[in-house]
Structure 1
Amino acid sequence: MGIFFINILATIISGCIIAMFTQWLRNRVEKQSAIA
């Protein structure tokens, strides 16, 4: 049960990190295209 819970927790955390990174990357690309 503990390993299963840690697996779910890791999936949620990595999902949040990927979502944040994607949003940051999108904002950067938008700013670059706006400048150019």
Structure 2
Amino acid sequence: MLSLSSEGALFSGLRMGVILDMTILRLLRLGHHR
């Protein structure tokens, strides 16, 4: 059970990291366009 909970935490953390990366890429692209 602990392994499953840890996996869920890692998955949620990775998901947040992906979202942050996408937002950063969007900001960089907007900056380059301007």
TM-score, scaled relative to structure 1: 0.75
Identity %: 9
Residue 7 of structure 1 aligns with which residue? 5
Residue 28 of structure 1 aligns with which residue? 26
Distance apart, 1:28 and its partner CA:
0.4
> Structure 1 stretches of 5 or more lacking a match?
none
TM-score, scaled relative to structure 2: 0.78
Distance apart, 1:5 and its partner CA:
2.3
Aligned residues: 34
Residue 15 of structure 2 aligns with which residue? 17
> Structure 2 stretches of 5 or more lacking a match?
none
